Amino acid sequence: MISKKFEKKLERYRSIINETIFQELESRRPKSLYEPIIYFLKGGGKRLRGILLLLVVESLSKKPPKNFLQQAIAIELLHNFTLIHDDIMDNSVKRHNKPTLHVKYDLSTAILSGDVLLSIAYEFLMKNLQVNKPQVIEEFTRALTIVCEGQALDKEFELRKNVTINDYFEMISKKTGALIESICRIGALLTLAERKVIKELGKFGLYLGIAFQLQDDLLDLTGEVKKFGKPKGNDLVEGKKTYIILKALQTARGKHVNEIRKLIEKKGIKPEQVDDFIDMLENLGIFDDTKKEIDKYFNLARESLQNISNSKNLNNLYQFAHKVLNRDF
């Protein structure tokens, strides 16, 4: 379903986002502030969020998507600000197989790099912003606040023993879903789309974000796609309360309950226990449950698109959803 043409489009959008970002950052001083950011951004990243914004405006407007490049970059910089600070909070030492910013440089540099990246995100958001200015800035800021709240919940869950599946969905809706929701809404606002389109595209983004996070949790264990720089079952070793673990706790009976409780209460298992634990989850049918849940949110996202009429080319957004959910069929 994902055409070569579409793949090439993504590649083109990625290139132009990167070129413009680096052109901007390389001229800035002091070097001690901007070099670490360039290091971080050159380390990798698919720029999927910036690309999504360009796909949304392309679907809704006859104007060239390049007209909205500055806003796509704003989204990417906001996302990378969260990554830099999350890496500190999560004690992550590698990203894309390279040392994280606070490891490569130091804590102060990583904090300040994130801060200024957020400021530059707002600079880009304002550039060449022609319509719905206050609405776009409010939407962007709303997403930023909610993403911080989602990260706070995620950190809170590390310390709490009683996290429910509902709690988990609230957390990923905020930490991962809200930004993708806002990207779609901002794309709609930038093209003066009507109320209903803004709403449905927002729902598309939110559901896609939830499906994407569930997929991410699943890939950590089933490893159908190699996650850069993280060994298989990393979430189990860290004792993360993902949907998979919470669903397993709900489903399991007898001795399995104790094993899962132990993972939660002792905050993780040993790397050598990972394979047995994955077998248990498989036997409990949790991976199938998770795939069903991903399907559910994927279908909700698709229905939101179907509720929109008069869109020039929503096929781009379908393809994007397939692409990020690794559904190459």
The residue ranges that bind a second copy (CB under 8 A) are 29-30, 32-33, 85, 88-89, 107-109, 111-112, 114-116, 118-120, 122-123, 126, 129, 133-134, 137-138, 141-142, 144-145, 148-149, 151-153, 155-156
Contact 264, 241 (CB under 8 A): yes
**Of residues 24 and 216, the one with the C-beta less far from a second copy:** 24
- Which residues touch 325 (CB under 8 Å, ≥6 apart)? 208, 211, 212, 215, 294, 298
**Cα–Cα distance for residue pair 7/319, rounded to 1 Å:** 9
**Of residues 81 and 277, the one with the C-beta less far from a second copy:** 81
**Cα–Cα distance for residue pair 203/197, rounded to 1 Å:** 10
We find the least distance from the C-beta atom of residue 296 to a second copy, in angstroms, to be 26
Is the bond preceding residue 36 a cis peptide, omega within 30 degrees?
no
We find the least distance from the C-beta atom of residue 121 to a second copy, in angstroms, to be 9
Tell me the helices (H) and strands (E) count for the chain, helix number first. 16, 2
**Of residues 111 and 219, the one with the C-beta less far from a second copy:** 111
**Cα–Cα distance for residue pair 169/72, rounded to 1 Å:** 27
**Of residues 87 and 235, the one with the C-beta less far from a second copy:** 87
We find the least distance from the C-beta atom of residue 116 to a second copy, in angstroms, to be 4
Q: How far is CA 225 from the centre of its chain?
A: 16
Structure tokens at 66: 């390049």
- Beta strand 94-95 with 98-99 is antiparallel
We find the least distance from the C-beta atom of residue 131 to a second copy, in angstroms, to be 12
We find the least distance from the C-beta atom of residue 6 to a second copy, in angstroms, to be 34
We find the least distance from the C-beta atom of residue 114 to a second copy, in angstroms, to be 8
**Of residues 32 and 283, the one with the C-beta less far from a second copy:** 32
**Of residues 2 and 112, the one with the C-beta less far from a second copy:** 112
